[in-house]
Amino acid sequence: MKKISFYFHSLVLLLCIGVLTSCSETKEYESLISINENNMVVSINLEQLLTKSDIKNQITPEDQTEFINNITYGLEEDSKQLLKSVIDNPGTSGLNIKNRLYLAISYEGHEIESSQVSLFASVEDQSKLENLFKTLEKETEDVTQSEIDGFKSLAFNENEFHILYNKQIMIATTIKPESDEFKKLTQPEKTLNSYNYYKGIKSTDDLALAFSIKNLSQLNKQLTVNPASLAFTDSFYDKLDSRVFQVLSLNFEKGKIDLNQSIFAEEGADMTIFKEGEEILKKASGEFANHVGKDPLFFMNLGIDGTKLMTFVDKYFMTDEETRESIKDDFAQVKEYMNLVNGDITLALNSIDFNFISPSADFSVFCSTKGNTLYTKIVEWIKEKPSSSTAIVEETENLLTLSERGFTMYLGTENDRLFLTSNAELAKNPSKDVAPNIKESRYYTRSKDGYSYLSLDIQAILAIPIVQMGMSNLRGLQNADVKNFIMDLDYLDAKNNTPLASSTSLVFKSQEENSLKLLTKLLVQLTKM
């Protein structure tokens, strides 16, 4: 059978229009998009994505012709000519891809298999869109036309899929027509731009995702197979207000990919749990930066109030009696230790050697404490455990040396600071500045004025001999384009600008090209393999 599904051609056509779409004024149509609190919303700036990818210039005219022939294969001649004309002149489609596309995904009963999806697109010319649909309707055998609340309606595959449109908006949906949610599509009770979280979806975002944290947590239960883990997290999720939303935005920029996260509360939402969570993190001072060598493989620094952390965990995670009883002794000990933590915690992995005979790592952990009591308690705990007490090599005032299987570590304290390190020189003089230190690393300035920060130096990791050996043996990395793309990755870092907002960046060495163009270039090359 030569006829191809209308649904497939509609989606492909939408992408083609976006590639070649002409300039037009952006119209706000978010006030027409029906959204409920259970919806996960995806915002897609298709026109911007296609511009950044530079896909038109990365695909040869011959490949473009072949692509068009492939997607129009099997269509009747008038349908084929219409599709080609729309690709040549997007204005004939009737859609305005300058406006963002939106996907609304709902999970009835919080079950993945019951998910329903609706796609919303802005209409620029209803008559042109209607002409497009009339022509393509001939390419499917099962289509029913009707009119619903002022919307033209096309139903496919025995009402499994619907397209609704008027002069302002087009809706493609899998929601069943007999449901209340279907009626709300044409008669919205609440629209996208009426939510507070909509403020977090910026017009400049390439992609954005918004969802109720509580509702998403219900889906997580279906994916978690560890009952103990569920018992621990359920008590926390049950206390969340479904009207608190998380917004993630993804942007492809020159030389980097940015992912931003923020929290938004709808009117009347209980934010108690988040306000208490905010108090756990403190502004990181960076007091240990002078003691960390330049360009570590991994670096993490955060400011924390240990007492408030354990109070939070006790209140929101330890409500299940069975869980509390099973770990009460361990929890009490951890709580006692964490109550003595107040300030920066810094972790740095400077190097690692995967030598099979004698593996080693150069790492350091620093922690601001209330006096030296925490050090004393940890030493007592080590001595009490037969498995760890045998590793003690030497104990002097404020310093414990441990060694096992040729790997030596030093646990010590000085000036209300606890440290654990594999560096003997640092252990002898923990207050001495290292030169050069992490403050000279290319990314360190991004860590300032935040609550937490971590970095992964991809270039340094790729330089590890065993990593290079592994890469040389992977079949996929034999391709020069793949290898060049990976070798162009510089570092990954993440920062909490506030306790409830974070930003993550994947940075490339190439700063002149847009990251999406680099990724598209790679994908185009891979399709030719």
pLDDT digits (tens, 9 = 90+) for 419-433: 999 999 999 999 899
CA distance 377 to 375: 6
Section 29-54 average pLDDT: 94
Q: If we measure between CA atoms, which residue out of 451, 456, 448 comes closest to residue 505? A: 456
| Rg of the chain taking only CA atoms, in angstroms | 29
Section 228-235 average pLDDT: 63
Tokens of 321: 């009696």
Q: Which domain holds residue 393?
A: 275-529
The distance from CA 132 to its chain's CA centroid, rounded to whole angstroms, is 37
Helices (H), 30-74: 46-53, 55-58, 61-71
Do 442 and 334 share a structural domain? yes
**In a 3-state reduction of DSSP, which class is residue 506?**
strand
Phi-psi region of 149 (alpha: psi -120 to 50; beta: other; left: phi over 0): left
Do 494 and 366 share a structural domain? yes
User: In percent, how much of the chain has pLDDT > 90?
Assistant: 60
Number of domains in the chain: 2
Q: 224 CB contacts (<8 Å, ≥6 apart)?
A: 230, 233
pLDDT band at 456 (very low <50, low <70, confident <90, very high): very high
Cis peptide before 436 (omega within 30 of 0): yes
User: In percent, how much of the chain has pLDDT > 70?
Assistant: 89
Residue 240 placed within a domain? no
Does residue 233 surpass a pLDDT of 80? no
Does residue 122 surpass a pLDDT of 70? yes
Do 282 and 177 share a structural domain? no
Which of 194, 227, 262 corresponds to the end of one domain? 194
Q: Are 17 and 92 in contact (CB under 8 A)?
A: no
pLDDT band at 23 (very low <50, low <70, confident <90, very high): very low
State the first-to-last Cα distance of the chain, in angstroms, to the nearest integer: 30
pLDDT band at 75 (very low <50, low <70, confident <90, very high): confident
The distance from CA 296 to its chain's CA centroid, rounded to whole angstroms, is 24
Which of 136, 165, 194 corresponds to the end of one domain? 194
Give the C-alpha distances (Å, rounded to integers) separating 455 from 261, 344, 354, 442, 446: 17, 16, 21, 11, 10
Section 307-334 average pLDDT: 90
Residue 177 placed within a domain? yes
Helices (H), 385-512: 386-389, 424-428, 458-462, 465-473, 480-487
CA distance 369 to 347: 15
Do 285 and 189 share a structural domain? no
Do 168 and 22 share a structural domain? yes
The distance from CA 494 to its chain's CA centroid, rounded to whole angstroms, is 11
**In a 3-state reduction of DSSP, which class is residue 435?**
coil
Section 373-384 average pLDDT: 95
Do 520 and 389 share a structural domain? yes
**In a 3-state reduction of DSSP, which class is residue 353?**
strand
Q: Are 105 and 115 in contact (CB under 8 A)?
A: yes
pLDDT tens across 322-344, in order? 888 888 999 999 999 999 999 99
CA distance 157 to 179: 17
pLDDT band at 438 (very low <50, low <70, confident <90, very high): very high
Q: If we measure between CA atoms, which residue out of 261, 248, 210, 205 comes closest to residue 52? A: 205
Question: Average per-residue pLDDT in the chain?
Answer: 87
Section 37-50 average pLDDT: 93
Q: If we measure between CA atoms, which residue out of 491, 483, 482, 521 comes closest to residue 509? A: 491
pLDDT band at 439 (very low <50, low <70, confident <90, very high): very high
Residue 500 placed within a domain? yes
CA distance 91 to 138: 22
Residue 252 placed within a domain? no
Do 180 and 279 share a structural domain? no
Do 179 and 64 share a structural domain? yes
**The pLDDT value given to residue 83:** 78
CA distance 384 to 116: 57
pLDDT band at 267 (very low <50, low <70, confident <90, very high): very high
**The pLDDT value given to residue 402:** 95
CA atoms within 13 A of residue 494's CA, in its CB half-sphere: 12
Q: Are 304 and 341 in contact (CB under 8 A)?
A: yes
Residue 255 placed within a domain? no
pLDDT tens across 150-172, in order? 999 999 877 789 999 999 999 99
**The pLDDT value given to residue 82:** 80
Q: If we measure between CA atoms, which residue out of 400, 393, 348 comes closest to residue 372? A: 400
Do 442 and 337 share a structural domain? yes
Residue type for position 237: Y
**The pLDDT value given to residue 43:** 97
The tokens 């393999």 sit on which residue?
A: 529
CA distance 204 to 186: 28
For the entire predicted model, the pTM comes to: 0.88
What are residue 388's phi and psi, to 5 degrees? Answer: -105, -30
Do 189 and 80 share a structural domain? yes
What are residue 345's phi and psi, to 5 degrees? Answer: -120, 125
Residue 232 placed within a domain? no
Does residue 10 surpass a pLDDT of 60? no
**In a 3-state reduction of DSSP, which class is residue 191?**
strand
Helices (H), 390-452: 424-428
Q: If we measure between CA atoms, which residue out of 492, 480, 481 comes closest to residue 520? A: 481
**The pLDDT value given to residue 17:** 52
Q: Which span out of 91-95, 139-143, 231-235, 247-251 was modeled with the highest average pLDDT?
A: 247-251
The residue with greater pLDDT, 151 or 353, is 151
CA distance 263 to 30: 20
**The pLDDT value given to residue 20:** 47
Do 469 and 357 share a structural domain? yes
CA distance 205 to 412: 47
The tokens 């033209």 sit on which residue?
A: 152
Which of 175, 194, 213 corresponds to the end of one domain? 194
Do 283 and 181 share a structural domain? no
Does residue 217 surpass a pLDDT of 80? no
Q: If we measure between CA atoms, which residue out of 277, 316, 335 comes closest to residue 452? A: 277
pLDDT tens across 272-294, in order? 999 999 999 999 999 999 999 99
The residue with greater pLDDT, 491 or 96, is 491
**The pLDDT value given to residue 13:** 53
**The pLDDT value given to residue 169:** 96
Residue 251 placed within a domain? no
CA distance 142 to 159: 9
DSSP character at residue 514:
B
**The pLDDT value given to residue 395:** 94
pLDDT tens across 400-421, in order? 999 988 889 999 999 999 999 9
Residue 219 placed within a domain? no
